[in-house]
Amino acid sequence: MKFCSDCGSLLEFATPAGDDRGRFICRGCGAIHYQNPRVVVGCIPEYEGRILLCRRAIEPCYGKWTLPAGYLENGESVSACAVRETREETGACVDDLTPYRLFNICHINQIYFMFRGRVADVGEGPGKESLEVRFYAEAEIPWDQIAFRVISETLQTFLRDRRNGSFPFGIGDIGSAIGQGIS
Ligand SMILES: [Zn+2]
């Protein structure tokens, strides 16, 4: 960030009085431009024991498989976002949404919020962000072709919980060593 979005003046990065960390401050109008983590919302769409995955048609990780997920929009609830992203990326309509996993991905300033959902209607197939969509049984999941670590962790936890017969909500952390996120 270089210029003020309010007045166009040059910004400096400094700690405002009474604050405890650096912010972008406008030299012209004095506005402080706060930056905070972005929220990515996704879904595990399930139908008769199989999971709907989509193959990415965009970078990063073009051609890899993932769960539908994307950035939360202003004015949108997290559950509405999960439904919208699932429809946009897979064509499918999900209902019975249940909050399932939250991941802190601090090194890239992202929060992932994942729901479980039931596929009510498979719809008309993938949107423009996906090359193809497919229902996977547990034994068929292409683990070496999963796009992001947060997605493989979500899938592994989901499959383990399903074997145990319960899906408690949980919070996890994705570290910087091998962590990746959507950009
Ligand atoms: Zn300004």
* C-alpha 86 – ligand 1 centre gap (Å): 39
Q: Which residue has the tokens 């400094």?
A: 14
* C-alpha 22 – ligand 1 centre gap (Å): 17
Looking at the domain that runs over 1-35, which CATH code has it been given?
2.20.70.10
* C-alpha 156 – ligand 1 centre gap (Å): 47
Tell me the C-alpha distance between 41 and 32, whole Å. Answer: 28
Q: What is the 8-class DSSP label of residue 62?
A: T
**pTM of the predicted model, to two decimals?**
0.89
* C-alpha 9 – ligand 1 centre gap (Å): 5
- DSSP readout, 109-151? TEEEEEEEEEEEE-TT---TTEEEEEEE-GGG--GGGBS-HHH
* C-alpha 174 – ligand 1 centre gap (Å): 36
What kind and span of H or E run contains 14? strand 11-14
If phi > 0 it is left, if psi is from -120 to 50 it is alpha, else beta; for residue 30 that is left
Q: Which two tokens stand for residue 123?
A: 């719809």
Judged by DSSP in three states, 172 sits in: strand
* C-alpha 28 – ligand 1 centre gap (Å): 5
The domain locations on the chain are 1-35, 38-173
pLDDT tens-place string over residues 153-181: 999 999 999 999 999 999 999 997 644 44
Return the CATH superfamily for domain 38-173. Nucleoside Triphosphate Pyrophosphohydrolase (3.90.79.10)
How much is the pLDDT for 182? 43
Neighbours of ion ligand 1 (CB under 5 A): 4, 6-7, 9, 26, 28-29, 31
pLDDT tens-place string over residues 19-74: 999 999 999 999 999 999 999 999 999 999 999 999 999 999 999 999 999 999 99
* C-alpha 73 – ligand 1 centre gap (Å): 25
Strand arrangement, sheet containing 11-14: 11-14, 23-26, 32-33
Judged by DSSP in three states, 85 sits in: helix
* C-alpha 32 – ligand 1 centre gap (Å): 8
